[in-house]
Structure 1
Amino acid sequence: MLSMSSAGSLVLLVLASTALVPCDCVTYQPNWASIDSRPLPAWFDEAKLGIFINWGVYSVPSFYSEWFWFYWQGHSTEANSPRPQVVEFMQKNYRPNFTYADFARDLTAEFFQPDVWASIFEASGAKYIVFDAKHHEGYTLWPSKHSFNWNSMDVGPNRDLVGEMAAAMRKNNKVKFGIYHSMFEWFNPLYLQDKANNYTTQDFVFGKTMPELYELVTKYQPEVIWSDGDWEAPDVYWNSTNFIAWLYNDSPVKDTVVTNDRWGKGVVCRHGGFLTCTDRYNPGVKQDRKFENAMTLDTNSWGFRRDATLDGYLTIEKLINTLVITVSCGGNLLVNVAPTKYGTIAPIYEERLRDLGQWLQVNGEAIYSSHPWTYQNDTLNPDVWYTMKNTSGSKDVYAIVLKWPASGTLTLGAPSPGSDTAVTLLGYSGSFAFTGTGTRGMSITVPAIDVATIPCLWAWTFKLTNVAN
């Protein structure tokens, strides 16, 4: 038995040791008010750049878009379905009675090397990926217990593609692993029956969708859950808030996981960890809440297209411009790549990602962990966008110039220089002379720079130290 003095010392020791361990004692309730009160894990805002990977059975026909099945055999009462181009493609190239399920065996993935993919994603400068675990077609890229004979282990590559990708990303721990998961499935009989019942039944939810999500989280521990395919039914049908409350309270990734806003009809752009609002969401003005601009390099499709042409892909200049504008307004950029059925990333995608990574090696200081400044776009120069950081007692504003100032002078209308202001160029040694222009604005003298010392080829970042708002 402990003496009173010993017991008191023990209590003090326990209290002291407990005080040293931070404790998030909040229990999130299954309602949006509680869920939305959870602080967004800091890593997501700091990351700024992610890679989206859209890969599935639709990668086999690789024609028109990832909605190929729906555009081929969707109900005629549905908008934009079927589409004549897709119907004609099937009539010309495939035998009668060919089914969409017949495509799955040709998702061979024989050249899929997840370590090679991981090295490309790391080289891009991305800090997280979102891997398509299941699209609206219902085919799962992992051996799900809830998708018998319609998964990547039972038919097609005979591999756990989600598991292999997750393991590859965690080898170096440089890029976080996340998953995309579609709530609904176009032609699943259980879903169609629930839909016919006006979503008063939930056989599909509790028989497939929710079991898949719990399975993905417990087995692969993704740190991004990117939900989609939710828009036809309300969140109470999907049981979304119960899942997210479990995710935030009890899951193996409860402290670091982030979620998007696609959890039921009327929820998008209102609730969730971060907002996506619409595909390719790039508002161009500062947002009150964290958002993500999910966009494609192939401007016509999220999935791989064999008939894509060069002019259908974003140039590296356009990609960098999109990143800069998105980050300036407080968002993250999620850049989509579309692998082939063989498990390869086409050279056009790899080139864009590696070029983006080279640019970030020089200009990443203005992107990662930055914050929106008072101004996003310059008041005089539409080709200049701003980010900022508070570092070592000074405020650094980054003026990212999308077009090099040909006149030898960069005129800015937003920043006001002071007596201790300094101007430098990321990736270039030396400082630049400048003058103030009235009560606000400044003109920076940009001398001719030797080609051999140009820090990068697309978009340049002038660092303005200690300027006023």
Structure 2
Amino acid sequence: MKRVFLFLALCVIGASADDFRYEPDWDSIRSRYQVPDWFRDAKFGIFIHWGPYAVPAYMSEKYAPGMYDPGWNKGDMNAFRHHQETYGDPSEFGYKDFIPMFKAEKFDAAAWARLFKKAGARYVVPVAEHHDGFAMYASKHTRWNVKNMGPKKDTMRLLADAVRAEGMKFGASSHFALNRIYYKTTEPDWDTNDPQYADLYWYPRDKDSKPDQEFLDLWWKRTTDIIDSYQPDLLWFDYGLDKPGWESVHKKILAYYYNQGLEWNKGVVFQDKNMKYHCFPEDVIVLDIERGRMSEIYKYPWQTDTSVGKISWGYIENEEYKTADYLLDELIDIVSKNGCLLLNIGPKADGTIPPEAEAILLSMGEWMNINGEALFDTRPWKIYGEGPTKVNKGHHSEKHNEDAGYKDIRFTAKDDVLYATALGWPKNGKFLIKSLAKKNPHESRRIKSVQFVSGKNHLRWKQTRKGLELNVRGKKPCEAAYVFKVEFM
């Protein structure tokens, strides 16, 4: 009889452990949650800003509020003036009128997924809904969605299936929290003041007001709809969720999503910018830094989100594109500091990816085909690197960063192997890694071997008191950066 009771007790204990559920409490979440290894291994993902704002293709993805605001400028671009001249006054042609023009007639989810795979991406995160209020998925809670209007097909489902078929993880981003204060309502005859369109533009509100319960409930329904319908491996939130008035949903949505991950039996990732109010403890989420980086190794996994373009996140006709060289240097630096890079592209309204963006992705993929072992599945070393070029820390700091050079070395580690990646090529092919000098403070073991990963060039090396001296013969074998694989005795 005692054995029966003991068996039943053990069954109850086992069931309790298996039935664990997160409570909307930081301690409960902290007690169990860990960032899954798939994310820590992934290093590189693709972000996609795509929506009706791709139709005017002017100024930025924030054309929507700009067309109602005479004072909204992006450099020398003014969306209000452009709209008046091109489409007419907002009383005659509002943002809603772009939606029928957003047809995505050339959208090919499988082609997108193949491109992202070739680029080296391991996860893909399309914008599920931007501040504009138009749902880029088959929403159950708004008529303004991609299944009912515009393309009239669930582009999110098509992309999710295609991405997963290529072996990549699929995420979704929500920017909807700012919808309620996104549009100006200055003129009474604008459609932003028409009650029949309030379910797109929301009701007139003071910009500094807090969300009322009606909007909080709508946000909850729309967000959990995305979670339940598409089972995203990663859920990304824009900074609107950090504003005052959203405190009641922070613990609740985190617990809800993590519990769904338990139901799906997979590790999920929740990302937030924590830009001003730091609403989420950074040991229970993945911190995202917009157009910026960390200056040192961060103790928790983190992420940079930036774009191939310098001006906009969505497609615009006069975009200024970054180079693949610059973006690879950025990726390498981020990975050396325990981060991942989520790189954005903005497709056109017809569903095609701009050739400039495609060329950048393919170029990055070519580099990673050769050198990817120094990035994927690695972890930070004892120091992130060395060199004269310093990186500014924090959101929107990338514009202050200088281009790196061959003296800038970044380190990653995998098992007992150290990878040292130089972010440039010296004319004479000679590199010096000072951090690996004899009797350096980081590694007491002697170097056994050094391999040149980036090409078949002949390599000579020696470890001296100055550092690890490397002499690579011949021309540089690739662009951007050069990887050395170091093993110790």
User: Normalised by the size of structure 2, how large is the TM-score?
Assistant: 0.82
Q: 1:36, 1:273 within 8 Å by CA — same for their partners in 2? A: no
Q: Which consecutive residues of structure 1, in runs of 5 or more, have no partner in the other structure? A: none
The answer on 1:246 being equivalent to 2:272 is: no
Q: 1:370, 1:387 within 8 Å by CA — same for their partners in 2? A: no
The answer on 1:274 being equivalent to 2:286 is: yes
Tell me by how many angstroms 1:415 deviates.
1.3
Selected match of 1:35 from 29, 40, 43: 29
| Count of aligned pairs between the two proteins | 444
Q: Which residue of 2 aligns with 1:323?
A: 331
Q: 1:152, 1:158 within 8 Å by CA — same for their partners in 2? A: yes
State the alpha-carbon separation in 2 of the partners of residues 171 and 139 from structure 1. 27
Letter in 2 for 1:113: D
Q: 1:234, 1:264 within 8 Å by CA — same for their partners in 2? A: no
Q: 1:131, 1:180 within 8 Å by CA — same for their partners in 2? A: yes
Q: Counterparts of 1:257-272 in structure 2 under 5 Å?
A: 257-262=268-273, 266-267=277-278, 270-271=281-282, 272=284
Letter in 2 for 1:108: K
Selected match of 1:71 from 66, 75, 87: 66
State the alpha-carbon separation in 1 of the partners of residues 34 and 157 from structure 2. 29
Task: Note closer, same or farther for the CA distance 1:324–1:424 as it changes in structure 2 (3 Å cut).
Answer: same
SS in 1 for 2:124: strand
State the alpha-carbon separation in 2 of the partners of residues 448 and 365 from structure 1. 23
Letter in 1 for 2:467: G
Task: Note closer, same or farther for the CA distance 1:462–1:235 as it changes in structure 2 (3 Å cut).
Answer: farther
SS in 2 for 1:357: helix
Q: Which residue of 1 aligns with 2:427?
A: 406
Q: Note the alpha carbon deviations across 1:282-323, whole angstroms, 9 max, x for none.
A: 223212222111001111000000123xxx111111111111
State the alpha-carbon separation in 2 of the partners of residues 83 and 448 from structure 1. 46
Q: Which residue of 1 aligns with 2:410?
A: 386
State the alpha-carbon separation in 2 of the partners of residues 65 and 23 from structure 1. 49
Q: Which residue of 2 aligns with 1:49?
A: 44
Task: Note closer, same or farther for the CA distance 1:269–1:30 as it changes in structure 2 (3 Å cut).
Answer: closer
What do you get for the CA RMSD once the two structures are aligned?
A: 3.2
Q: Percent identity?
A: 27
Letter in 1 for 2:374: A
Selected match of 2:467 from 438, 441, 444: 441
Q: Which residue of 1 aligns with 2:244?
A: 234
Q: Which residue of 2 aligns with 1:132?
A: 127
Task: Note closer, same or farther for the CA distance 1:50–1:86 as it changes in structure 2 (3 Å cut).
Answer: same
Q: 2:102, 2:349 within 8 Å by CA — same for their partners in 1? A: yes
Q: Which residue of 1 aligns with 2:87?
A: 94
Tell me by how many angstroms 1:219 deviates.
1.0
Q: Which residue of 2 aligns with 1:223?
A: 233
Q: Counterparts of 1:268-417 in structure 2 under 5 Å?
A: 270-271=281-282, 272-277=284-289, 279-308=290-319, 312-379=320-387, 383-391=407-415, 395-416=416-437
Q: 1:274, 1:292 within 8 Å by CA — same for their partners in 2? A: yes
Tell me by how many angstroms 1:145 deviates.
1.8
Task: Note closer, same or farther for the CA distance 1:425–1:30 as it changes in structure 2 (3 Å cut).
Answer: same
Q: 2:458, 2:473 within 8 Å by CA — same for their partners in 1? A: no
Q: 1:399, 1:463 within 8 Å by CA — same for their partners in 2? A: yes
Q: Which residue of 1 aligns with 2:106?
A: 111
SS in 1 for 2:351: coil
Q: 2:287, 2:303 within 8 Å by CA — same for their partners in 1? A: yes
State the alpha-carbon separation in 1 of the partners of residues 380 and 452 from structure 2. 19
Q: 1:231, 1:265 within 8 Å by CA — same for their partners in 2? A: no
Q: Which consecutive residues of structure 2, in runs of 5 or more, have no partner in the other structure? A: 184-191, 193-197, 389-404, 439-444
When structure 1 is superposed on structure 2, of 156-165 and 34-43 the one drifting more is 34-43
Q: Which residue of 2 aligns with 1:466?
A: 488
Q: 1:285, 1:376 within 8 Å by CA — same for their partners in 2? A: yes
Q: Counterparts of 1:197-216 in structure 2 under 5 Å?
A: 198-199=209-210, 201-206=212-217, 208-216=218-226
User: Normalised by the size of structure 1, how large is the TM-score?
Assistant: 0.85
State the alpha-carbon separation in 2 of the partners of residues 196 and 447 from structure 1. 61
Q: Note the alpha carbon deviations across 1:13-51, whole angstroms, 9 max, x for none.
A: x969x98x9966654331345435521111111100000
Tell me by how many angstroms 1:408 deviates.
3.6
